[in-house]
Amino acid sequence: MAESKKSKAAAKTTSAKTTSAKTTSAKTTPAKASAAKASPPAAARVRLQVGEPAPSFSATITDGSTIHSKDLLGKPVVVYFYPRDDTPGCTKEACGFRDAHADLRKAGAVVLGVSADPVKSHVKFTDKYQLPFALISDPEATVAQAFGAWGEKVFMGRRYLGMHRMTFLVGGDGKILRIWDAVKPETHAAEVLEAVRSA
């Protein structure tokens, strides 16, 4: 009888572990599937050139409203793409634009940051660092792909799709005046301000 009780207890334990494993599997699978769906599809990167018209776009910004590129004609626009909210390099870059924002506005420029983060994340990032400019939420990388800022990246030998750190200065006529595809987050805002002033 003792052996029988032990066998039953062991069977229950095994059954519980199996059930737990199934539950864990069921919980993780949708998350993985969701993450896979969240990543925009691969596409050949567009290579824009100085002097050509900047892509037109409509997108959701920090306050939940929609911004249209056509409404920005007549003034220089700084469109900077960055990988992710509240990460070291992206925070340095955003704070650089924050600190230079008053001077950029005096020069007549509008600053727009773009990442694939949702609006909720942009709101937290904006509030945390008191960013005075709008951030575009581009989860499907629609704007990024149009500008050529979305594509394959390599980190420690691993290849993946993501946002490239790039900046575009668009003139009041809607044409690209300057492209930065090698950005140093710490000093980038100063470079952009100089370019805006001399445009």
Angle CA 145–150–104, to nearest 5: 85
What are the residue ranges of helices labelled H in 59-168?
A: 88-106, 119-129, 142-147
Q: Strand 110-115 to strand 134-137: parallel, antiparallel, or no bridges (unpaired)? A: parallel
Pick the catalytic residue from 61, 77, 79, 90: 90
Nearest to 85 by CA among 59, 129, 115: 115
Nearest to 112 by CA among 81, 140, 143, 90: 81
Residue type, 108: G
Query: Does residue 95 carry a catalytic annotation?
Result: no
DSSP of 179-192, one letter per residue?
A: EESS--TTTHHHHH
CB 149 within 8 A of CB 157: no
What are the residue ranges of helices labelled H in the chain?
A: 2-38, 88-106, 119-129, 142-147, 188-198
* Angstrom distances, CA of residue 188 to CA of 3, 49, 92, 179: 74, 20, 9, 12
Active-site annotation, residues: 90
